[in-house]
Every structure is written in structure tokens, then in C-alpha cells.
Amino acid sequence: MSLTRRTLLTGTAALLPLQAHAANKDIVVIGATAQCAPAIIDLGLKQGRKVTALARRPDAVTASHPNLKIVKGDVREPASLEAAMTGSEVVVSLVGPRVDPRVEIQSIDLYSLGTTNIINAMRKKGNKRLIACSSIGVRNEIKEKPKSDSINLMWMWNSRKLYADMREMEKIVRESKLEHVILRPGFMIEAPSQPERIKISIEELAIPGTGPIVSFADFALLTMNAVDGDKYLSKAVAIFSDQSTNWGVNLDFEAMWKMRQEQGPIDVY
């Protein structure tokens, strides 16, 4: 893996488990039906936080806990965002569409428009810190259609407008003047936490074609580090492991897509 970076942290230096104590901040999770959301919500609750989970389909949020509040909302409806905030929480945005990576995306503004609405709601309510989930893929801009029909390359090509909107979102977050951290996870999968294999790169990362993997559990831990700590403020943070995607070997595309289809309509974040 070729890396250029300002800072590269690995293993336990990268992810430090947080214990439940009074300093742990409460959170509002926007996009609570995202694939990574259950791990973030579960960890937040285990750390003693009050968690508000906002989703277009609140019935799809299966967690239950006295400190969990599940609310219906939509990033295209600013009033619903404001209603979910009290002004004291850290806002964690997991906004993103479910799309068929085999189909070329023609137009998308969910990241840029949705994040603009989130920021405006935070300003109105007084919330100070935003943790925005982006992707490691924003650093790998494809300008010409690949000659190969490799699923990895075609996925990036078909989603190039999605990543362009994601880059616009990052610009909006940086210019918001809020306390913020932009998280750029690698390809996320359900897997045991392995913090000794985790790598974190600050702001500059050359992406190999295969794409690095990270578990939901380790991404959740990084998210909580960003919620409470100041280490990553005003930075874009890439998180990945020493394992890369290998379609047909460690990742089964057809099985993965079937799972995504079972989670609901592809236009639901």
C-alpha cells in the first residue's frame, strides 16, 4: 500500500477504547439505518451516552435501550433535523443513499444538500460539533471509463457523481466553521474488531485499486474518539486495515448486494 501522509497511526495508538464516564458526550445519529449505524449506536449506549437516532424509516432501527431515542426525520426536511437536536449533542452524520453499484448514477445532491441542512439546523439549535462520514473513495477520482469490467473499477466509475457530491459535502463541512471531523472509512464489513491491525491516515492517502477494508466495530470506535476528543478536529481522517478487498475471495459481491436489497429500497439512507 502506497501512502503519503502528514500523520499515520497504527494499532492501539490509532484507536483508544473509551470507557463510560461523565465526559462522554451525547450524540445525534443522522441516517440511523446506515450499515455502520448499529455499531455506532451500540457503542455509544455502552459508553453511557444518550443517543438520538434519526431515520426516514425509524421502524428499521432495531436497537432498544432506555438512553436511546428513535425519531423520524429526513435531511431534506430541516424542521425534522432541528426537532432531533437539543443543542448539546455531537451530531454524527451517516447520510448516504443505497445505490446499485452496477448502475451508473446520473445525478445526486443528497450529501451536499443534506449536510447543508444539518449544519443550518445545528446553528439554529446551538450544536457545536459535527462528525461527517465520507469515504476513502473521495481520493480516487476516475475521469475516464475503465476498459476493464472489474467490479471494483466499474463501481467507482458508476459512482463517480456520488463521490463528487461527497467531495462537495466535505468542502461544505470545512467551510462551516463548526467543530468538525471528516471520517473517510475504507470498505466497511461486519467483522470482529482488530485494533492492532488498524491504520489511520490524516488527510493525505494514495488509494490502491483494490481498496482497504475496515470493520464496523473499529469505525464505531474511531467515531467515538472523534466525538469526545480534539485530536482530529478540522481534519479528514482515513481509517483502514492491512486487509484489502479481493472480490470472489474475501468478498462476495452478489451476496453483499442481496443483503443490501433485503435492507430496503435503494433510495433510503
Tens-binned pLDDT, residue by residue, of the chain (269 aa): 334 444 566 655 566 555 554 468 999 999 999 999 999 999 999 999 999 999 999 999 999 999 999 999 999 999 999 999 999 999 999 998 876 666 777 878 999 999 999 999 999 999 999 999 998 878 767 777 767 776 666 666 667 788 899 999 999 999 999 999 999 998 777 877 877 777 888 765 444 444 577 889 999 999 999 999 998 999 999 888 776 655 555 555 555 555 555 544 433 33
Put residue 89 in one of left, alpha, beta given phi > 0 → left and psi -120 to 50 → alpha.
beta
Q: Residue 49 sits in a domain of what CATH number?
A: 3.40.50.720
Rounded distance between C-alpha atoms, residue 39 and residue 221, angstroms:
9
Rounded distance between C-alpha atoms, residue 178 and residue 155, angstroms:
33
Examine residue 177 and state whether it is found in any structural domain, yes or no. Answer: yes
Examine residue 35 and state whether it is found in any structural domain, yes or no. Answer: yes
pLDDT, residue 266, reads 36
pLDDT, residue 148, reads 74
Examine residue 2 and state whether it is found in any structural domain, yes or no. Answer: no
CA dist 44 to 73, 188, 201, 218, Å?
20, 19, 24, 13
State how beta strands 90-93 and 179-185 pair: unpaired
For residue 77, what are the domain limits?
A: 7-262
Rounded distance between C-alpha atoms, residue 221 and residue 168, angstroms:
26
Geometric angle at alpha carbon 191, from 129 and 35, rounded to 5°: 50
pLDDT, residue 100, reads 67
Examine residue 269 and state whether it is found in any structural domain, yes or no. Answer: no
Examine residue 219 and state whether it is found in any structural domain, yes or no. Answer: yes
Examine residue 61 and state whether it is found in any structural domain, yes or no. Answer: yes
Examine residue 267 and state whether it is found in any structural domain, yes or no. Answer: no
**Residue type, position 11, single letter:** G
In sequence order, what are the residues at sequence separation of 6 or more whose Cβ sits closer than 8 angstroms to the Cβ of residue 14? 195, 198, 199, 200, 222, 239
Examine residue 212 and state whether it is found in any structural domain, yes or no. Answer: yes
pLDDT, residue 183, reads 95
- pTM of this prediction? 0.83
Cβ atoms of 53 and 64 within 8 Å: the answer is: no
pLDDT, residue 49, reads 96
Residues in the chain: 269
Residue 128's SS3 state is: coil
Instruction: Tell me which DSSP letter residue 36 carries.
Output: T
Looking at the structure of the chain, the number of domains it has is: 1
* Burial class of 258 by CB neighbour count within 10 A (0 to 12, 13 to 18, 19+): exposed
Cα of first residue to Cα of last residue in the chain, in angstroms, is 31
Q: How is residue 181 written as a grid cell?
A: 471531523
Rounded distance between C-alpha atoms, residue 138 and residue 154, angstroms:
15
pLDDT, residue 17, reads 59
Rounded distance between C-alpha atoms, residue 93 and residue 221, angstroms:
15
